[in-house]
Every structure is written in structure tokens, then in C-alpha cells.
Amino acid sequence: MKQIFIITILFFGTLHPMFASDYEQVMAENIQKMYTAQSIDQLTAVANQFERIAAKESDQWLPAYYHAYSYVSILLLNQSMSITEKSPILDKAQSVLDRMKKSFENESEVFALQGLVYQMRISDDGSAYQFSMMADEALTIAEKLNPDNPRAHYLKGCNIFYTPEQFGGGPTKAKPLLEKAQNLFASNQTGNSLLPAWGEEHCAYMLEQCAAK
């Protein structure tokens, strides 16, 4: 009987995900979809799904967070995009973040994501310094709200890694932050699968880059 129960849930789960009223389950499914999506269309659909959940569950920060992060994922999937192609997508993520920074002003992850979105705007058009500063400011807030947020340290490390040495950047200065982030990634296993979990792999890659230089 137990088996039937599981199978039923499976079928209802996959065939009629829209019927699911269970917040956690829908979230878990869509987070999974987001991490495994292979096309912009799939990610747009996931972003829209998160937007719908966010509209209903307005007291939860995670749906809006993943709504914004889905747009970030589009850029991560298409690394070759030019800044003009990136801009409108980042604008979308920014508009979600702007609302979140007001409603969930004490959530460290929101500011960490804000830092990433600013970093993604860094390009060659002379505004690099400005966005790097803005990213740093957001990440400092993220760190202040939760000193154990690995993403705050990891993204700060990336910021410093790509900042020219004469501006106080470079791999040597980035390394301690990335190491700290790596330790926090390892120790911060919350067990709550809905919470943000990205960054660990890339953090390890960045540390390799530090060692290579």
C-alpha cells in the first residue's frame, strides 16, 4: 500500500504539477528544473513559475529569490552573450531584487545575489569600477547580515580576483576569501534543500585559478 501511495504522488507530481498545493514540493521541483534546464525557454518557464509562486506566497523570500536567480541562470547558460543582450535580462533580475531588498531587507542571500547581478554587469564600457563598487557594497551587507553566508565571501573573492592588482585586487588577495567560502560551503550543509546552494563548484574552480597564478 505504501508503494501505491508513493507512485500516486509521483504520477500526480509529474503529470499535474500545477495542481500541487504543497509549497515545498513545487519549490523543490522547480529548483531542480532550474538547475537542470538546457534552454532559455525552459528557464523562462521556470522563472515565470517562480513568479507565480512569489505572487501567492508573498511572505516567503525564496520564490522571488529563485525568480531572480532564474534570469541569472539564463546568463550562466549562455556565457557568450554580449552586454547588450545581457542588459534586458539583468534588468528583469534587478527589478525583482529591488522589490526584495525592500520586503526582505534582513536576508543575507538577497544581497549576495544582488552582488552577483552587479558583477554580471561589469563590462568593458568604462563602468566596470562603478559596478564593482556596487557589488562590493551589496556583498558587504550580505556578509554583515550573515557572516557565515559562503556566497558573500565567495563572490567577494571573485570581485577581488578580477580587480587589477594596482586597485587592491588580484589572486593573492582573493585567495583567503575563497578559502573561507570553501570552508563555509563544506560546513554549512543545512539539510534544507530549498535554500540557495549554488557557488561551491565555481568557488573551487576559482581557488584552482588562484593556485595557477
Partner 1 sequence: MKTQILFVLIISFLPVAGQINISGTVQNKNGEPLTGVNIYIEGSYNGASSDRNGIFEFTVPDKGEMNLVASLIGYQTWSKTINATSDVEIIIVLLESVNTLDAVTITAGTFAVEDKKRAAILEPLDIYTTASANGDVMAAMRTMPGAQAANDDGRLLVRGGDAYETKTYIDGLLAAKPYYSKTPDVATRGRFAPSLFEGVMFNTGGYSAEYGQALSSVLVLNSTGVAVENTAGISLMTIGAEANYTKAMKNSSVMGSASYMNMKPFHKLVKSYIDWTKPVEAINLTSTYRYKPSSTGLLKAFATYERGDLAYQVTNGEHEAISIENTGNSSYANVSYRDAIGKKTCFRTGISGTYENDVIVVAGNHIETLNLTMEARFAMVHELSERIVLTYGISDTYTDYQQAIKTPELSYIDFQFTDHTPGTFVEAEIKFSKYVAVRPGIRAEYASLMKRANLAPRLAMAVKTSKNSQFSAAWGRYYQNPENDYLKFNAELDFENATHYIAGWQAGSVKNRLFRAESYYKTYQKLITWEGMNEYYPQNISNSGYGYSTGIDLFWRDRKSIKNLDYWLTYSFVDTERKYRNYPGATTPEFISNHNFSAVGKYWINKISTQIGASYTFASARRYNNPNTGQFMDRRTAWYGDLSLNLSHIFFLGNRYSVLYASVNNVLGRDNVFGYRPSGIADAQGNYTLIPIKQDTKRFFFVGLFLSF
Binding site for partner 1 (CB under 8 A): 3-4, 7-8, 11-12, 15-16, 18-21, 26, 41, 44-45, 48-49, 51-53, 55-56, 88, 91-92, 94-95, 101-103, 105, 125-127, 130, 134, 137, 140-141, 144, 164, 166-168, 173
Burial of 58 (0-12, 13-18, 19+ CB in 10 A): exposed
Sequence-distant (≥ 6) Cβ neighbours of residue 56 within 8 angstroms: none
In angstroms, rounded to a whole number, what is the distance separating the alpha carbons of residues 29 and 32?
5
Nearer to partner 1, 51 or 200 (CB): 51
In angstroms, rounded to a whole number, what is the distance separating the alpha carbons of residues 30 and 66?
9
Sequence-distant (≥ 6) Cβ neighbours of residue 168 within 8 angstroms: 160
Q: DSSP labels for 28-88?
A: HHHHHHHHH--SHHHHHHHHHHHHHHHHH-TT-SHHHHHHHHHHHHHHHH-TT--HHHHHH
Taking the complex as a whole, how short is the minimal distance between the CB of residue 94 and partner 1, in angstroms? 8
Taking the complex as a whole, how short is the minimal distance between the CB of residue 201 and partner 1, in angstroms? 27
Handedness of CA 127, 177, 80, 43 (dihedral sign): negative
Nearer to partner 1, 55 or 186 (CB): 55
Taking the complex as a whole, how short is the minimal distance between the CB of residue 189 and partner 1, in angstroms? 28
Taking the complex as a whole, how short is the minimal distance between the CB of residue 162 and partner 1, in angstroms? 14
Nearer to partner 1, 106 or 189 (CB): 106
Nearer to partner 1, 56 or 213 (CB): 56
Taking the complex as a whole, how short is the minimal distance between the CB of residue 11 and partner 1, in angstroms? 4
Nearer to partner 1, 46 or 206 (CB): 46
